[in-house]
Structure 1
Amino acid sequence: MDRRIGESGTTLMPGNAGATSTSTATARRDAEGAAPYDFDVEWWVPEGSAVTPTTVAVHTGSIAAVRKPGAAAVYALVTSRSTATTITYDPNVCPALMGDPVDARRSIEKLVALADVVKVSDEDLAWLVPDADPVEVARDWVALGPAIVIVPLGGARAVAVTAAREMRVAAPRRHVVETVGAGDSFRGELIGGLWDVQLPGAICRDTLRSSASSTIRHMLERCVEVAAIALARPVANPPCRRDLGQTTSLTPTDSSIPDKPRSG
């Protein structure tokens, strides 16, 4: 979590000049385009890190939210602003750094309960909750408190789960060249999409929970389109907004899957 998004723009959190080494992540791409990582990370929250009263959205996830000692400070920071800002969270698990999945899940679900919007991949859930249906886990997480839990399902498909309904979309098929950066691209478009429809901020929380399915579906379609473009690029190179629309000439898929109302 290295940024805060405020009404006046995006502000970098304070940097850290006191680490004894530079944190690194080494990706080695396999024949299918997947990239297992090796990490060497030193992590804590720099002194002076804070969320200002004008901040309307806070995002966190991955190593920062789980790895000690910084994780405790991240949790405290999110807790301090959870009633006043929109919280978005992406567990983005790193098994090599998160230890036992049972312990990691406890930490992750504490943040899920504080979040308004959660994005979690099916691969993340396969590690956290082996053999479970990712959509069923998403339903359980919605019950913890988020307005929306979104699960990318591989390739360029995704499902959004709310208390009222489930929406599934898929982008046109593209050949997968590189998986690195696709999840980050998806998440960036999700946060940008919330901003486009003016949903960040505590005063918008009720509106977010009652958002029309068409609004959520549109955001989800944009997210999978962005991920599809990223997957088709030979290097980790997230697309810009001007790149959207390039998938329209490709083979259509099940992007018109109807919404599924939830019962119970």
Structure 2
Amino acid sequence: MERERSVEAPPLPRSLPAEGQVLYGRNAVHELLRADRRRIHALWATAAAQEAEAWIDRDLARTVEADELTALVGTGDHQGVAAAANPYPYVELEDLLAVERPLLVALDEVQDPQNVGSIARTAECAGATGLLLCRHRAAGVTPAAAKASAGAVEHLPIAEVRNLADALEQAKQAGAWIYGAAGEGAGDRRPVPYDQPEYDGGVVLVMGAEGSGLRDRVARTCDELVALPLHGRIDSLNVSVATGILLYEILQRRGALDNGT
């Protein structure tokens, strides 16, 4: 029996910081290059990817085999492209709140990087001001989240906060209204239909973790809880799907207000 060939990953560049990331996936790496928010230390691509993607600079890309990329990033989901880059450039909450009529999405301990990435993609496409993530017990902007976002995380300002309830109080002090998505409410608070609030002024939409929803203190911090109607046999929506529905309802309501209708 022929022994399987041992595949070694390409070496990481010595200039890559300890907290640097190796991103993968064609959209994720393309948007990394387009956004130009962080230094790129190396770019790897298969010959097939270089042939298919005109944006890959063949003078900069190091040609590798697909199995070498798999060994490098730990998954075969790399689509033939990877890049080593500086750590993700998180922003400060104060910067997000300084925008006129900010529209923020806050995630309360959402732990699945696929959901974080999908929500970041929707938020960026919807023109949201930014995204708030919990620093602990939650997924951050990992390479998996970057790929799931199709590179949207490279354009969307994202802040990590130590205590989400405190951050929401800070947003209130800056004049924002806080709306939490809660199908069953919290304690004796019952949610209102999602299309009832006007969503005028600064808005923070708070989405709860998969399965557990909003934590009690976070829910109590919200000015109002909102709920989507569920008419089927499943009792909840995926958090990224629910975020998309609510964000576009907010856009519609804010657009109607802007148009004077």
* TM-score of the two chains, using structure 1 as the length reference: 0.31
Structure with max Cα Rg: 2
RCO (CA 8 Å, sep 6+): is it higher in 1 or 2?
A: 2
Q: Tell me which protein shows more helix as a share of its residues.
A: 1
* TM-score of the two chains, using structure 2 as the length reference: 0.31
